[in-house]
Protein backbone atom coordinates (compact mmCIF):
# COMPACT_ATOMS: atom_id res chain seq x y z
CA UNK A 1 0.00 0.00 0.00
CA UNK A 2 1.11 3.56 -0.62
CA UNK A 3 1.21 6.17 2.14
CA UNK A 4 -2.31 7.43 1.47
CA UNK A 5 -3.79 3.94 1.49
CA UNK A 6 -1.92 3.14 4.71
CA UNK A 7 -3.28 6.26 6.37
CA UNK A 8 -6.85 5.50 5.32
CA UNK A 9 -6.57 1.90 6.44
CA UNK A 10 -5.45 3.01 9.91
CA UNK A 11 -8.30 5.51 10.16
CA UNK A 12 -10.78 2.88 9.02
CA UNK A 13 -10.13 0.77 12.10
CA UNK A 14 -9.62 3.65 14.55
CA UNK A 15 -12.05 2.96 17.42
CA UNK A 16 -11.09 4.78 20.61
CA UNK A 17 -13.06 3.88 23.69
CA UNK A 18 -16.09 6.10 24.30
CA UNK A 19 -15.94 8.16 27.46
CA UNK A 20 -19.70 8.30 27.90
CA UNK A 21 -20.97 9.02 31.41
CA UNK A 22 -23.08 6.39 33.10
CA UNK A 23 -26.15 8.61 33.07
CA UNK A 24 -25.91 9.60 29.39
CA UNK A 25 -29.25 8.07 28.41
CA UNK A 26 -30.98 9.36 31.53
CA UNK A 27 -29.57 12.84 30.94
CA UNK A 28 -31.00 13.01 27.44
CA UNK A 29 -34.30 11.36 28.36
CA UNK A 30 -34.81 14.00 31.04
CA UNK A 31 -33.65 16.84 28.77
CA UNK A 32 -35.88 15.88 25.85
CA UNK A 33 -38.89 15.37 28.09
CA UNK A 34 -38.27 18.71 29.81
CA UNK A 35 -38.36 20.60 26.51
CA UNK A 36 -40.85 18.48 24.58
CA UNK A 37 -43.78 20.81 25.18
CA UNK A 38 -41.93 24.11 25.41
CA UNK A 39 -43.72 26.54 23.09
CA UNK A 40 -41.85 27.85 20.05
CA UNK A 41 -43.38 31.36 20.29
CA UNK A 42 -42.55 31.73 16.63
CA UNK A 43 -43.08 34.58 14.20
CA UNK A 44 -42.93 34.45 10.39
CA UNK A 45 -42.33 37.63 8.36
CA UNK A 46 -42.29 37.68 4.54
CA UNK A 47 -39.13 39.12 2.96
CA UNK A 48 -38.74 40.40 -0.59
CA UNK A 49 -36.65 37.69 -2.30
CA UNK A 50 -33.98 38.12 -4.95
CA UNK A 51 -35.28 34.95 -6.58
CA UNK A 52 -38.49 35.23 -8.61
CA UNK A 53 -39.29 31.54 -8.06
CA UNK A 54 -39.00 31.35 -4.28
CA UNK A 55 -40.73 32.76 -1.23
CA UNK A 56 -38.52 33.87 1.66
CA UNK A 57 -39.50 34.40 5.29
CA UNK A 58 -37.63 35.73 8.30
CA UNK A 59 -38.49 33.33 11.13
CA UNK A 60 -37.89 33.76 14.85
CA UNK A 61 -38.53 30.94 17.31
CA UNK A 62 -37.50 29.97 20.83
CA UNK A 63 -35.55 26.86 21.75
CA UNK A 64 -33.65 26.34 25.00
CA UNK A 65 -34.71 29.63 26.58
CA UNK A 66 -36.40 32.86 25.54
CA UNK A 67 -33.65 33.80 23.06
CA UNK A 68 -35.30 34.44 19.66
CA UNK A 69 -33.43 32.22 17.18
CA UNK A 70 -33.35 33.69 13.67
CA UNK A 71 -33.72 31.62 10.53
CA UNK A 72 -34.41 32.01 6.83
CA UNK A 73 -37.29 29.85 5.67
CA UNK A 74 -37.33 29.51 1.89
CA UNK A 75 -39.89 27.73 -0.26
CA UNK A 76 -39.61 27.15 -4.01
CA UNK A 77 -42.78 28.04 -5.88
CA UNK A 78 -44.19 24.70 -7.01
CA UNK A 79 -47.63 23.45 -7.83
CA UNK A 80 -50.14 24.02 -5.05
CA UNK A 81 -50.69 21.18 -2.60
CA UNK A 82 -47.32 19.52 -3.12
CA UNK A 83 -45.50 18.69 0.13
CA UNK A 84 -41.80 19.44 -0.12
CA UNK A 85 -38.60 17.96 1.29
CA UNK A 86 -36.77 20.40 3.54
CA UNK A 87 -33.09 20.94 4.32
CA UNK A 88 -32.47 22.29 7.82
CA UNK A 89 -28.97 23.72 7.67
CA UNK A 90 -26.56 24.86 10.37
CA UNK A 91 -23.53 27.08 9.81
CA UNK A 92 -19.90 26.78 10.89
CA UNK A 93 -18.43 28.19 14.10
CA UNK A 94 -18.44 31.96 14.29
CA UNK A 95 -20.77 32.29 11.30
CA UNK A 96 -24.44 33.04 10.82
CA UNK A 97 -27.33 32.32 8.52
CA UNK A 98 -26.01 34.88 6.01
CA UNK A 99 -28.19 35.89 3.07
CA UNK A 100 -31.01 33.77 1.60
CA UNK A 101 -29.40 33.43 -1.83
CA UNK A 102 -26.62 31.42 -0.21
CA UNK A 103 -28.98 28.41 -0.25
CA UNK A 104 -30.04 28.57 -3.89
CA UNK A 105 -28.89 25.05 -4.75
CA UNK A 106 -31.51 23.48 -2.50
CA UNK A 107 -34.26 25.64 -3.99
CA UNK A 108 -33.14 24.59 -7.47
CA UNK A 109 -33.70 20.98 -6.40
CA UNK A 110 -37.24 21.85 -5.41
CA UNK A 111 -36.52 21.63 -1.67
CA UNK A 112 -37.54 24.04 1.05
CA UNK A 113 -34.74 25.34 3.31
CA UNK A 114 -34.59 26.41 6.93
CA UNK A 115 -31.23 28.06 7.59
CA UNK A 116 -30.86 28.91 11.27
CA UNK A 117 -28.42 30.88 13.35
CA UNK A 118 -26.44 29.28 16.13
CA UNK A 119 -27.03 31.50 19.13
CA UNK A 120 -24.63 34.32 19.95
CA UNK A 121 -22.44 33.94 16.91
CA UNK A 122 -22.14 36.14 13.82
CA UNK A 123 -25.79 36.15 12.84
CA UNK A 124 -28.97 37.92 13.87
CA UNK A 125 -29.41 35.92 17.08
CA UNK A 126 -28.37 36.97 20.54
CA UNK A 127 -27.81 34.70 23.52
CA UNK A 128 -29.68 34.97 26.80
CA UNK A 129 -27.98 31.92 28.30
CA UNK A 130 -26.77 32.73 31.81
CA UNK A 131 -23.29 31.32 32.37
CA UNK A 132 -22.12 30.40 35.84
CA UNK A 133 -18.45 30.67 34.87
CA UNK A 134 -16.21 32.97 32.86
CA UNK A 135 -14.76 31.73 29.60
CA UNK A 136 -11.89 32.14 27.21
CA UNK A 137 -12.85 34.00 24.04
CA UNK A 138 -15.69 32.49 22.05
CA UNK A 139 -18.93 30.78 22.98
CA UNK A 140 -18.53 27.08 23.71
CA UNK A 141 -17.10 27.68 27.17
CA UNK A 142 -20.28 29.34 28.42
CA UNK A 143 -21.62 27.29 31.30
CA UNK A 144 -19.06 24.54 30.69
CA UNK A 145 -18.95 23.79 34.41
CA UNK A 146 -22.68 22.97 34.47
CA UNK A 147 -23.89 20.27 32.08
CA UNK A 148 -27.50 21.33 32.67
CA UNK A 149 -26.96 24.95 31.67
CA UNK A 150 -24.09 24.90 29.19
CA UNK A 151 -23.81 26.31 25.67
CA UNK A 152 -23.89 22.94 23.95
CA UNK A 153 -27.13 21.96 25.69
CA UNK A 154 -28.72 25.22 24.61
CA UNK A 155 -27.57 24.69 21.02
CA UNK A 156 -28.85 21.10 21.04
CA UNK A 157 -32.36 22.16 22.06
CA UNK A 158 -32.35 25.12 19.66
CA UNK A 159 -31.53 22.72 16.82
CA UNK A 160 -34.10 20.11 17.78
CA UNK A 161 -36.73 22.85 17.92
CA UNK A 162 -35.71 24.03 14.43
CA UNK A 163 -36.54 20.59 13.05
CA UNK A 164 -39.73 20.55 15.10
CA UNK A 165 -40.77 23.89 13.61
CA UNK A 166 -40.20 22.67 10.06
CA UNK A 167 -41.97 19.38 10.72
CA UNK A 168 -45.10 21.26 11.72
CA UNK A 169 -45.41 23.18 8.44
CA UNK A 170 -48.24 21.96 6.24
CA UNK A 171 -46.23 22.45 3.05
CA UNK A 172 -43.37 20.23 4.32
CA UNK A 173 -43.24 16.45 4.00
CA UNK A 174 -42.34 15.40 7.56
CA UNK A 175 -40.78 12.18 6.25
CA UNK A 176 -38.26 14.04 4.07
CA UNK A 177 -36.32 16.35 6.37
CA UNK A 178 -32.53 16.62 6.07
CA UNK A 179 -30.24 18.06 8.73
CA UNK A 180 -27.11 19.46 7.12
CA UNK A 181 -24.01 21.47 7.91
CA UNK A 182 -20.25 21.75 7.86
CA UNK A 183 -17.75 21.89 10.73
CA UNK A 184 -19.79 23.08 13.74
CA UNK A 185 -22.86 22.73 11.54
CA UNK A 186 -21.94 19.14 10.70
CA UNK A 187 -21.58 18.32 14.37
CA UNK A 188 -24.96 19.91 15.12
CA UNK A 189 -26.54 17.94 12.25
CA UNK A 190 -25.26 14.68 13.76
CA UNK A 191 -26.27 15.74 17.26
CA UNK A 192 -29.78 16.57 16.06
CA UNK A 193 -30.06 13.25 14.22
CA UNK A 194 -29.00 11.47 17.41
CA UNK A 195 -31.58 13.23 19.59
CA UNK A 196 -34.59 13.82 17.34
CA UNK A 197 -36.75 11.34 15.45
CA UNK A 198 -37.74 13.91 12.82
CA UNK A 199 -34.70 13.95 10.48
CA UNK A 200 -34.71 11.37 7.68
CA UNK A 201 -31.10 12.04 6.58
CA UNK A 202 -28.00 13.68 8.01
CA UNK A 203 -25.25 15.42 6.04
CA UNK A 204 -22.10 16.26 7.99
CA UNK A 205 -19.17 17.87 6.20
CA UNK A 206 -15.86 17.87 8.13
CA UNK A 207 -17.95 17.66 11.33
CA UNK A 208 -16.93 19.08 14.67
CA UNK A 209 -18.13 17.75 18.06
CA UNK A 210 -16.57 14.33 17.41
CA UNK A 211 -14.04 12.68 19.76
CA UNK A 212 -13.76 15.99 21.59
CA UNK A 213 -11.35 14.68 24.20
CA UNK A 214 -8.85 14.11 21.37
CA UNK A 215 -9.71 17.47 19.85
CA UNK A 216 -9.12 19.22 23.15
CA UNK A 217 -5.53 17.97 23.00
CA UNK A 218 -4.83 18.43 19.31
CA UNK A 219 -7.30 20.63 17.42
CA UNK A 220 -6.45 24.15 16.27
CA UNK A 221 -10.14 25.10 16.13
CA UNK A 222 -12.85 26.12 18.59
CA UNK A 223 -11.81 23.55 21.19
CA UNK A 224 -8.70 25.63 21.85
CA UNK A 225 -11.06 27.90 23.80
CA UNK A 226 -11.65 25.09 26.28
CA UNK A 227 -8.03 23.98 26.35
CA UNK A 228 -7.06 27.58 27.16
CA UNK A 229 -9.63 27.62 29.95
CA UNK A 230 -8.47 24.26 31.33
CA UNK A 231 -4.85 25.39 31.12
CA UNK A 232 -5.73 28.36 33.33
CA UNK A 233 -7.74 26.13 35.70
CA UNK A 234 -6.24 22.60 35.55
CA UNK A 235 -8.38 21.52 38.48
CA UNK A 236 -11.49 22.02 36.32
CA UNK A 237 -10.41 19.76 33.43
CA UNK A 238 -12.36 16.73 34.66
CA UNK A 239 -15.57 18.75 34.79
CA UNK A 240 -14.94 20.19 31.32
CA UNK A 241 -14.45 16.69 29.91
CA UNK A 242 -17.51 15.41 31.73
CA UNK A 243 -19.69 18.15 30.25
CA UNK A 244 -18.35 17.54 26.75
CA UNK A 245 -19.04 13.82 27.05
CA UNK A 246 -22.82 14.39 26.90
CA UNK A 247 -22.54 16.07 23.49
CA UNK A 248 -19.72 14.14 21.84
CA UNK A 249 -20.87 12.27 18.73
CA UNK A 250 -18.38 9.54 19.67
CA UNK A 251 -20.68 8.74 22.60
CA UNK A 252 -23.97 9.37 20.77
CA UNK A 253 -23.19 7.69 17.42
CA UNK A 254 -25.23 4.56 18.05
CA UNK A 255 -28.36 6.68 18.64
CA UNK A 256 -28.33 7.81 14.99
CA UNK A 257 -30.67 5.58 12.97
CA UNK A 258 -30.97 7.48 9.68
CA UNK A 259 -28.61 7.37 6.69
CA UNK A 260 -25.58 9.62 7.05
CA UNK A 261 -22.94 11.01 4.69
CA UNK A 262 -19.70 12.55 5.97
CA UNK A 263 -16.67 14.20 4.43
CA UNK A 264 -13.19 14.38 5.97
CA UNK A 265 -9.97 16.10 4.98
CA UNK A 266 -6.75 14.31 5.84
CA UNK A 267 -5.00 17.69 6.14
CA UNK A 268 -7.66 19.14 8.43
CA UNK A 269 -6.17 20.45 11.69
CA UNK A 270 -9.49 21.77 13.03
CA UNK A 271 -11.80 18.76 12.68
CA UNK A 272 -9.03 16.24 12.49
CA UNK A 273 -9.50 12.96 10.61
CA UNK A 274 -9.04 10.94 13.81
CA UNK A 275 -12.02 12.71 15.35
CA UNK A 276 -14.29 12.23 12.33
CA UNK A 277 -13.40 8.55 11.88
CA UNK A 278 -13.74 7.87 15.60
CA UNK A 279 -17.40 8.88 15.39
CA UNK A 280 -18.00 7.40 11.93
CA UNK A 281 -16.65 3.98 12.89
CA UNK A 282 -19.18 3.77 15.72
CA UNK A 283 -22.20 4.64 13.58
CA UNK A 284 -24.48 1.62 13.16
CA UNK A 285 -26.83 3.24 10.63
CA UNK A 286 -26.47 3.26 6.85
CA UNK A 287 -23.46 5.44 6.30
CA UNK A 288 -20.82 6.62 3.88
CA UNK A 289 -17.70 8.68 4.31
CA UNK A 290 -15.68 10.44 1.64
CA UNK A 291 -12.06 11.14 2.58
CA UNK A 292 -10.03 13.71 0.64
CA UNK A 293 -6.27 13.25 1.16
CA UNK A 294 -5.28 16.81 0.23
CA UNK A 295 -8.22 18.70 1.69
CA UNK A 296 -8.04 20.74 4.85
CA UNK A 297 -10.97 22.29 6.69
CA UNK A 298 -13.09 23.12 3.68
CA UNK A 299 -15.98 21.97 1.51
CA UNK A 300 -15.10 21.23 -2.11
CA UNK A 301 -17.42 21.26 -5.09
CA UNK A 302 -16.88 17.59 -5.86
CA UNK A 303 -18.21 16.58 -2.47
CA UNK A 304 -21.10 18.99 -2.81
CA UNK A 305 -22.17 16.95 -5.84
CA UNK A 306 -21.79 13.73 -3.82
CA UNK A 307 -24.04 15.23 -1.15
CA UNK A 308 -26.75 16.15 -3.64
CA UNK A 309 -26.56 12.69 -5.19
CA UNK A 310 -26.87 11.12 -1.72
CA UNK A 311 -30.02 13.10 -0.91
CA UNK A 312 -31.61 12.48 -4.30
CA UNK A 313 -30.99 8.73 -3.98
CA UNK A 314 -33.02 8.70 -0.81
CA UNK A 315 -35.67 11.30 -1.66
CA UNK A 316 -35.95 10.94 -5.42
Considering the candidates 159, 183, 222, 245, report the single residue annotated as catalytic: 183
Our answer to whether residue 183 is catalytic in this structure is: yes
| Cβ–Cβ < 8 Å for 303, 263 | yes
Q: Kindly list the distances between the CA atom of residue 58 and the CA atoms of 49, 126, 157, in Å, as whole numbers in the listed order.
A: 11, 15, 20
Our answer to whether residue 146 is catalytic in this structure is: no
Our answer to whether residue 297 is catalytic in this structure is: yes
DSSP-based three-state secondary structure for 75: strand
| Strand blocks (E) in the chain | 43-47, 54-62, 68-76, 84-90, 112-116, 172-182, 201-205, 260-265, 287-292
Contacts of 221 (CB under 8 A, 6+ apart): 93, 183, 208, 215, 269, 270, 271, 297
- Going edge to edge, which strands form the sheet with 68-76? 43-47, 54-62, 68-76, 112-116, 84-90, 172-182, 201-205, 260-265, 287-292
Tell me the catalytic residues. Answer: 183, 268, 297
Amino acid sequence: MNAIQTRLAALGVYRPDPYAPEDLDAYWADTLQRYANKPLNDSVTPVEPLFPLADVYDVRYEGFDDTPIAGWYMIPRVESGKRLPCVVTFHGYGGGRGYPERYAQWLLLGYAVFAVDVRGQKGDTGNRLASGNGTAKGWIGQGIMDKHNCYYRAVAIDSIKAVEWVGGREEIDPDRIVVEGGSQGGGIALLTAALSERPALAVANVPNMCHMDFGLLNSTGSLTELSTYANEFPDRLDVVLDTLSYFDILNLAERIRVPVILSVGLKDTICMPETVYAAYNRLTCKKEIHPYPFMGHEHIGYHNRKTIEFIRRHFG
